[in-house]
Structures are given as C-alpha cells and as structure tokens.
Structure 1
Amino acid sequence: MSAPARTTLAGLAQALLARQRGPRTMVGIVGAPGAGKSSFAEALKERLDRAAPGLAQILPMDGFHFDDRLLEARGHLARKGAPHTFDVDGLAVLLDRLRRDDGSEVVVPVFDRELEIARAGARAIGPEARLILVEGNYLLLDDPAWAGLRPRFDLTVMLDVPLDVLEARLAARWRGFGYDDARLAAKLEGNDLPNARLVIARSVAADLLVANTVPSGD
C-alpha cells in the first residue's frame, strides 16, 4: 500500500472547494489528543467560508463522550477520552443522517471542555452545508467497534504531530486548568499519552497527511 499523500491546510481547502457541487462530502479529520484537530477544523472552515460562506460545517467526535455519571458507574471515569468512553453507535447514526443529505437540518452535540460534558443540540447543520468536517481521535482506529465508521467518510486526513510535541501541548493544556505536577503526571501517563500512542500506532492509513502546526485546541 502506498503512503498517504501529504498536503497543507491551504492545499486541503483548495481540494475541498473543488467538491462543493454535487453530493455532500464527509471529511474525517483524525489525530491524537493534542494534535490540534478542533483548531485545524476551525481554521479549515474559516478558509472555506472565505470562498463559499456556509459551505462547510464541523461535527466534533467529542460530542459523543459518555457522561461522567455513566463513566463513573462503569468504573471508566479515569479513562475518559479512551475509545471505550464514546458512543460510537450514536456517532454512526448521526453520520448516516448527514450522509442522507435529504434537505433537513441536523442538530448535533458539542463537547463543553470547561464543564467536561457533551451538550446535546448545541449546533445545527443545515442543508446548505456540502462539506462536513468530522474531527476526532479514533475515526480511523483499527478496532471492530470503530471500523464501521470508515466507509462513511469520502476523504480522511491524519494530522501528523510528533509524540513529544503532543506531550508538550497536552501538558500546557492541563496546566492551564490549574493542574499541579502530580495531577498532571497522572493525567498524562494514566490517560492522554496512552490514548495518543494508540491513535499513532493503530490508526489505518488516511488518504492525506498534514503536518499540523496549528496550536492545539482539541
């Protein structure tokens, strides 16, 4: 199998603009925690909006986090953000609704990072949106629970960020939330970095690779 082609944010925007006519296009934007998926998706949407306002909308995978109460009941709260802490089936159903492209508005959930909860009905995607930018860690994970998502994407993009850069970004994120050294180490080594290594090691090849320099916001 040949290696994925490399592109840039600008190159990807140009390629997507060429797809604006015809059926709705589902784009999977994938990367490890700290890769900057949400910031990249927002920057990509901004570029697309300048050329064609309303053409693109973002669907974050994080909106499908299980609630903390459910995770606590299952003993999974400390691993929040790992593959088994997401409603994969719910995400698949919503992707199918968007792919149907039947002229109806689709309302989607969005994760509130300050409150650490997913807000239902937080963003509306109207029928005018022809490019759906789906961003998340595990969209290409080589795992039976996640493999069913892959056929739902017309194009996949992997954000290529070295592990040491991911670690630095994640540490800066949690320090911004007031984590001390002990709590930070537990968060990184107990959850974030194992998840990052999993994405890097066990994601199937994307169609395109982007070396992402956009600061992390995911």
Structure 2
Amino acid sequence: MDDEHAVGTPGGPVRYEGGLPGLIARARVLADSGQRRLLGIAGSPGSGKSTVAAAVLAALGSSAVVVPMDGFHLAGAELVRLGRSGRKGAPDTFDAAGYVALLRRLREPDGETVYAPEFHRDVEESYAGSIAVPPDVPLVITEGNYLLLDEQPWSRVRGLLDEAWFLAPDEEERVTRLVERHVRFGKSPEDAREWVRRSDERNTALVEPGRARADVLVLGDPV
C-alpha cells in the first residue's frame, strides 16, 4: 500500500449490514495474507469499536493483537496545563503524532516486538508499554474515533491502514451506550448526559464525515 495516500474505495465504502461472521471473515483474509497488515475500526463515540475489535480478536486468537488509539490520550496533568481537561476526548487531547509513529513501527517491525500504551478508564490515564505486539503476529487491529479524520496529523493514519471499517449503529442506541458507560465509570446520570451532549456529540460531528474514507461502512450493530 502507498504509505499515506489511501483514502478508501474509489466509489465509496462498501455498505455492510450483516453480522459479525462476515467481518471476521474479512479480518481473517488480512491475517492470512502472509504479511503484517493493519485493520482500523473507526466510528463515533459509543459506536461499538472496542466491542467489535474484541470480538474479532477472540475469533482470530494469536493471529491478531488489538492496539487502541485511546492509549495516546494526553495525561491528565498535561490536559490541565493546556486548559483542555474539560473536553478530554477531543482530537487535540491526544498525542496524534505519536500514534502515527507507532502505526509506522507496527507496519515495519523489523523483527522486533513493538510495545504500545493502553488507556485505563478506571484511572483515566494511559500506561506505557502495556501492549506487546510480537513481530510474527500478522494482523494488528487498531480502533478509535479519529482514524479517518481528515485533518493533520490524524489524516496520516488512513494511509497506514490496509483496511478501514466505519461503524454506524442506531443513533439512539449509541447515545444510550455512551451515557451508560459514563455512569459505569463514576458520573451521575445527569452529569453523564451533560458530558455526552457537550463533549461526545461535538466529537461525533467531527468523526462522522470520516465514513466516506472507509473501505466498509458497517450499518447496525453486528455484535
């Protein structure tokens, strides 16, 4: 693949309304290609990216590793210093350039294990070196909101992916999942709804145009 020029299929993404088996079959083709491949799963907050990634990983076993974009959240102290802590999750609250650099290393591991950070929602911080990607793992699955965002430095991500999926579930279900997630991690229902309205849905408006740059538009909830 030309490193940073792929922008999805020329005629737009393939629309997919089937269940998880079809997605697993697509991922398995990538894993069986004989080369390191990167699969990106994008979508708005609450669209089910981590759930789909985990399901594909469970099916492929040792042939895949999941490396979420969320490991590149800026630390809480840095967000405070920058005055961005009230909108954590926006594109400029991540080390996007660091994420792009990691994807490049994952494409060309040079026979070495590559280590990636992992975000822990219980403490709202990332831990460095938490996810090991051995060089013989054929498929790396990465998921996150901004994989298909068409602004620098995020726009460099698309050309590093061999295939990109965009998840488009029912909107009411997506928002309900978001509120439930925030409540599960400590917010009151009222605060959770306010955060979704003020932050998550603002980010959704940025993410949604990225569906045009995907290879596959996954409609509905496949899991």
Determine if the TM-score, normalized by the shorter chain, exceeds 0.5. Answer: yes
Q: How many residues are matched?
A: 211
Q: Does structure 1 residue 10 correspond to structure 2 residue 18?
A: no
What is the alpha-carbon distance in structure 1 between the residues aligned to residue 87 and residue 130 of structure 2?
A: 25
**Contact 1:141/1:204, CA 8 A, preserved across alignment:** no
Distance 1:145 1:10, change over 3 A: same
Amino acid corresponding to residue 27 of structure 2 in structure 1: L
8 A Cα contact 2:71 2:117, kept in partner = yes
The range that moved more, 205-214 or 116-125, is 205-214
CA distance in 1 between counterparts of 2:176 and 2:145 reads 18
Structure 1 length-normalised TM: 0.90
Measured at CA, do residues 145 and 203 of structure 1 come closer, stay the same or move farther in structure 2, by a change above 3 Å? Answer: farther
The answer (yes or no) to whether the contact 1:36–1:214 under 8 Å persists in 2 is: no
Render the CA deviation track for 1:116-156: whole Å, top value 9, x for unaligned.
00111111011121011010100001212211111111100
Residue in 2 that maps onto 1:136: 144
Equivalent position to 1:119, from 127, 131, 134: 127
TM superposition outliers: structure 1 runs of 4+ over 6 Å: none
| Partners of 1:39 and 1:214 within 8 A in 2 | no
Match of 2:108 among 100, 124, 133: 100
Counterpart AA for 2:127:
R
Aligned to 1:48: 60
Structure 2 counterpart SS, 1:66: coil
**Post-superposition offset of 1:212:** 4.9
> Do residues 152 (structure 1) and 160 (structure 2) align?
yes
Q: Is the 8 A contact 2:72 2:94 kept in 1?
A: yes
Q: CA RMSD in A?
A: 1.7
Aligned pair in 2 of structure 1 residues 6, 72: CA closer, same or farther (>3 Å)? same
SS at match of 1:72: helix
Quote how far apart the aligned CAs of 1:203 are.
4.8
Q: Match for residue 109 of structure 1?
A: 117
1:39 to 34, 51, 57: 51
Match for residue 36 of structure 2 among 15, 24, 29 = 24
- Superposed displacement of residue 164, structure 1: 2.2
**Greater shift after overlay, 145-154 or 14-23?**
14-23
Note the 1:162-201 alignment, pairs <5 A.
162-201=170-209
Note the C-alpha offset of 1:197.
2.4
The one-letter amino acid paired with 1:13 is: I
Alpha-carbon separation, structure 2, partners of 1:178 and 1:150: 34
Distance 1:186 1:15, change over 3 A: closer
CA contact 2:91–2:146 (8 Å) conserved in 1: yes
- Contact 1:138 1:199 (C-alpha < 8 Å) held by counterparts: yes
Unaligned runs of 5+ in 2: 1-9
Q: Which whole-Å CA distance do the structure 1 matches of 2:35 and 2:137 have between them?
A: 10
Question: The residue matched to 2:191 in structure 1 has which SS?
Answer: helix
Residue type at the aligned position of 2:82:
R
Moved more, 156-165 or 106-115: 156-165
Please identify, of 158-167 and 111-120, the stretch whose mean Cα deviation from structure 2 is larger: 158-167
> What residue in structure 1 maps to residue 7 of structure 2?
none
Residue by residue over 1:80-125, the C-alpha shift from the partner in whole angstroms, topping out at 9 and shown as x without a partner, is 0010101011011111111113211011100001110011111101
Unaligned runs of 5+ in 1: none
Q: Normalised by the size of structure 2, how large is the TM-score?
A: 0.88
